[in-house]
Amino acid sequence: MIFSVGSGATATKSMASMASSFSLMRYTASTTRRAIRVLGTAKPSLSTVNFRRSLCRMSATHDEEASAIAAAANVDSGAPTIFDKIIAKEIPSTIVYEDEKVLAFRDINPQAPVHVLVIPKFRDGLTELGKAEVRHEQILGQLLYAARLVAEKEGILDGFRVVINSGPDACQSVYHLHLHVLGGRQMKWPPG
């Protein structure tokens, strides 16, 4: 890609370096804001608003992907996950449902009016759905039934979504299998 520089000189940058740097997007966003001020537009146009939203999505997507990659690098360390610490009550959480094998609590970064995480209390090698074995059949069923109980408690039994992110390509950021129970608003399709 070629960019014009003030004196007419040209500079080239590889697509890889542009993708890894958000400086171009920040420059474009600040240029857009300056153009709005210069043109005296009191209210930004729909295209400007959509452009800003896409920048936020790109940034959020980049952050989620980076977190997922970092988490995947430490998956086999054997260290306790944040969910292990929540189960042990070392980290506070708002518990919605609990039994001897399952814990459900509110997500600290909700993506819907109702966003509850449902986890097994014992990992037993079940760090992600892609690692499930025949021996995990019972706990997988219990997790899904607990998701239904959570939906009922939260008043969203008429419409809710259950999401399981499995692996770095799905942006799994905690390697302790967990279900997201989402509801309280109209869900869109396709997801993701």
Taking only the tens of pLDDT, the chain with its 192 residues reads: 333 333 343 333 333 333 333 333 333 333 333 333 333 444 444 444 344 333 334 444 567 788 777 766 676 667 899 999 999 999 999 999 999 999 999 999 999 999 999 999 999 999 999 999 999 999 999 999 999 999 999 999 999 999 999 999 999 999 999 999 999 999 999 986
Half-sphere exposure of 146 (CA within 13 A, CB side): 26
* pLDDT score at 76: 67
CB atoms within 10 A of CB 63: 12
Interaxial angle between packed helices 23-39 and 46-73, expressed in degrees from 0 to 180 and rounded to the nearest 10: 160
Catalytic pick from 62, 115, 176, 178?
178
CB neighbour class for 16 (10 Å; exposed up to 12, middle 13-18, buried from 19): exposed
- pTM, two decimals, is 0.66
List the structure tokens of 108: 């600290």
178 classed as catalytic: yes
* pLDDT score at 180: 98
For CA atoms 99, 102, 106, 112, the dihedral sign is negative
Secondary structure, 3-state, the chain: CEEECCCCCEEECCHHHHHHCCHHHHHHHHHHHHHHHHHCCCCCCHHHHHHHHHHHHHHHHHHHHHHHHHHHHCCCCCCCCHHHHHHCCCCCCCEEEECCCEEEEECCCCCCCEEEEEEECCCCCCCCHHHCCHHHHHHHHHHHHHHHHHHHHCCCCCCEEEECCCCHHHCCCCCCCCEEEEECCCCCCCCC
- Could you tell me which residues are beta bridge partners of residue 183? 114, 160
* pLDDT score at 79: 84
* pLDDT score at 61: 54
